[in-house]
Amino acid sequence: MSEATQSAGAKLLSGGNPQIAKGEGDAPVQAYIAAMPGWKRALGERLDALITQAAPDVRKAVKWNSPLYGTDGQHWFLGIHCFTRYIKIAFFKGGQLEPPPPVASKSGDTRYLHVFEDKPLDEAQFTAWVTQAKNIPGEKM
């Protein structure tokens, strides 16, 4: 277990996703980010910063071992999940974004962005999606 994972009090689940207790607010999200393995931690920090800049009133929580971002604490527009080779960013109403994120989902309107270590994040496009997504009624979870 890495030092960051130990300091966050988390273990990594199969596929490398941190196991973080369910919780509301910034603290559990920051614990998740601190427990992200390897290169994913710096990217998690950057994603969180970009989301917070684009949606200053964003609400945060960790549910199902994934950080969620929403507009009112009940309706969520975005979630993050670590996999072995990439980070999956779920835009829960991503089918309504222009252009839609590249990866389709089996669950209706959800669209995904997969970010790999060797493929840099297009920060301008990501920020544009967050800016759009925060204004669309999200998923109740």
Domains annotated on the chain, with CATH = 3-140 (3.90.1150.200)
Q: Residue 141's pLDDT is what?
A: 75
Query: What is the C-alpha separation between 21 and 41, in angstroms, rounded?
Result: 18
Question: Rounded mean pLDDT of 32-41?
Answer: 95
Q: Is 2 in a helix, a strand, or coil?
A: coil
Query: Average of pLDDT values for 101-116?
Result: 94
**Rounded Cα gap, residues 76 and 120, in angstroms:** 25
Element spanning 61, H or E:
strand 59-63
pLDDT at 32 over 80: yes
Please give the mean pLDDT across all residues of the chain. Answer: 90
pLDDT band at residue 6 under the 50/70/90 scheme: very low
pTM of the full structure: 0.89
Span 7-31, average pLDDT: 83
